[in-house]
Structure 1
């Protein structure tokens, strides 16, 4: 390889608990990639549905894995990040970037890494890369959910967390804040951006987002946590936070009551709305 991609290697972190089918779907997506320059790190929170047994039998497919109780999704992500920082037991080349792809999430197609790695190699000083996501709608139809600019991060997550790739060197001292059960990924991303590292918009869809996650089940809690994060990390006052909260509530109400109208704007090929 002569394009510098030999210096780039992706750590894919998959967090799972009692979702063996989702884990296998994520695994199949990784195995289908045309480029295998990645290491799989699997943090299982002590599953009792056969996931732990499967990992025991197939653990050699992962650079690192564990199955043990943890304090939740973001604690498991922190444990995996610490394992990456410590170095893979295999002694192979160290990953340079990390992507969080949880059980049930998949890469958008089999050529995602083939397209992604050269972009990472071309921008060695960029700390955060982010792209579009495919989201499963009613009936199984996939629609492109366009990423917003990272410059509008005060409005919330500007794309799905599974569509973000972080340079590991930019994560020194940064971990997921366990005070936030739903929005710790938002605080994590703001902390990375707060270090002043460059961010780059990817010209591709990165992931297929599995619907039905905790943030979709309890959106009010997610909005409350985001307000706390904006106050602590961005210094936003109550008036600005209230305005953003109202816009987020409006977007959710629109999606629930008039889904075709929400889809027209949020899944448009053009970035015409800041509703999230």
Structure 2
């Protein structure tokens, strides 16, 4: 099973090496991995860092774009794998068996979608990463969508034909009119409107450095909530309680795990 991994980057010189290294460590056949890097015309040493790594992109583009969702749309259009997923420049796989486990989940579950758990982490002085937030997804149930449930988008892997089936009228996959909630809108569309039945892989698949666009400040959190509400209404997945529980449900993710 060929897996396309799309990495969106912009001025990511301090983190892209971890992303690249986690790909190089995968115990999955190299010829079955398609790494696509969509860079937004970085002005720092991001491109230099990528070129210095042992694991090189199969497809690479660096040009001005209209934001991360424009980059994701480009990456999906470039993908030729049986399965498509994302590993952004602030993210890295939690273990070398990540892609192998994804492939097995698709094979044995007979599904078009697989998702897993995610951890938000911060660098420590020791050179390791400390866990700030543990996002345990749990099993899928369509009714959960009305209570704000969603899987972590960086852990969601889809058969490529799913993208072809759920294109917007404009021909894109992610609605670029959103600045920080197009992934939520996309997932509500595939799980709600199109009825895709995903399989849950109970493991931490991806670790994400804290500081993403949607959670870096109170102002961004407010903007994210407004866009989430727009996505909820557009996809008819619930009402105001959906937005409330989408945020309240995150609180237990900050409880330290042993």
TM, length-normalised to structure 2 = 0.82
Structure 1 regions of 5+ residues with no counterpart? 1-7, 85-93, 256-260, 270-276
Aligned with 2:88 (options 79, 84, 102): 102
Tell me which residue corresponds to 2:130: 141
Higher-helix-fraction structure: 1
The one-character-per-residue Cα deviations of 1:7-27 (angstroms, maximum 9, x if unpaired) are x11111000000122211100
Equivalent in the alignment of 1:40:
35
The residue correspondences of 1:137-176 to structure 2 (distance < 5 A) are: 140-142=129-131, 144-150=134-140, 151=142, 152-156=144-148, 158-172=150-164, 173-174=166-167, 175-176=173-174
Judged with a 3 Å threshold, the aligned counterparts in structure 2 of structure 1 residues 246 and 97 are, in CA distance, closer, same or farther, namely: same
Relative distance call for 1:250 and 1:146 in structure 2 (3 A) is closer
For these two proteins, the number of residue pairs brought into alignment is 239
**Aligned-pair RMSD on alpha carbons?**
2.6
Q: TM-score, normalised by structure 1?
A: 0.77
Report how far residue 144 of structure 1 moved.
Answer: 3.6
Residue 244 of structure 1 deviates from its aligned partner by 3.3
The aligned counterpart of 1:64 is 59
Q: List gaps (5 residues or longer) in structure 2.
A: 168-172
1:187 alignment partner, one of 175, 185, 188: 185
**Does the CA-based 8 Å contact 1:15-1:44 persist in structure 2?**
yes
Q: 1:57 to 1:109 in 2, by over 3 A?
A: closer
Higher Cα radius of gyration: 1
Matched, 1:225 2:211: no
Equivalent residue for 1:87?
Answer: none
Deviations 1:62-111 (A, max 9, x none): 12110000000000000111111xxxxxxxxx411111110020111111
Deviations 1:108-167 (A, max 9, x none): 11111222211112244x222111112226964226420044432234452321111111
Give the corresponding residue for 1:263: 254
| Aligned twin of 1:89 | none
